[in-house]
Copies of this chain bind each other. A is one copy, B any other.
């Protein structure tokens, strides 16, 4: 089921917003980040370079390290710490994905077979550990204790968020607040750390640090909420991962929480059967979509995401106009309009 069919993503967003301006402004730095990532993937143990390389190269948009580079640029940072710290952010992200796929027993990741499918869970766990360690080595080399504090704290918050998510994986009665707490911890924390690094290494005020942290957090929460909707509505080829994963795994996300809360007894039973007991037949995914649409669960989720995006934009507009600020504002719009 494509987004067009649902008509829930605003047309003006689809037409205009892209990551192009942002990408072109950080292009030179990003090339250095990519080179550093490839260099630090190396290990005398070839399997490590193979697995880590497979994941890192199959790529994604490098949104998190790009945000680090952009936040450094916003404060006119001229030093050389941004490159290493951006690479470090991507390593943490990739390590988290590897362990996530083990925990979720995923089959696809970014449109390719997931690492655990190819090399097994054992290697995925250990190579994830390697990437975490490499991230910390890279951090330490930058010799910024303040950045180290933010990133090590972020890493521990993320793992706590992951456990919290595991505990609530098929908890239909989860509140919206609890769900947002999980999203904040497991997804938005790395965005928050990524954008906070700019003012830190540029040695700006604590006030600026706080603003950029808020900006990253709001953007990250919106990003995850849009992801939750896309997992039901995107075209598989665009999303780059299996559509309906959350449903099949019984992973309760915000659209389902809304539909469950508003559902009648027989609908509640449907959610219970499919997402808690994981008794699913072929028609159930379509039935889920029907119920989610009945209660405007996608619209509500996207409308909440839009609130976070508006807040992120407001925070940004407290800084003087500049090409990088405008590109970050467009990034906010892009997050709301993305197809993948």
Contacts and interface: CB of A to CB of B under 8 A. Distances in A.
Interface of A: 43-45, 47-48, 99, 102-103, 121-123, 125-130, 132-134, 136-137, 139-141, 143, 145, 148-149, 152-153, 155-156, 158-160, 162-164, 166-167
Contacts of A163: 43, 45, 47-48, 123, 126-127, 130
A69 to B, nearest CB: 23
- Chain A contact residues: helix, strand, loop or mixed: helix
A126 B145 contact: no
B166 A123 contact: yes
A117 to B, nearest CB: 16
Contacts of A149: 137, 140-141
Given A130-B159, A130-B160, A162-B126, A152 B167 contact: no
Contacts of A132: 129, 132-133, 155, 159
A164 B139 CA distance: 25
Nearest to A166: B122
A127 B103 CA distance: 12
Given A125-B125, A137-B155, 14 more contacts: A43-B160, A45-B167, A99-B125, A99-B126, A103-B125, A123-B166, A127-B159, A129-B159, A130-B163, A133-B158, A136-B136, A136-B148, A136-B155, A136-B156
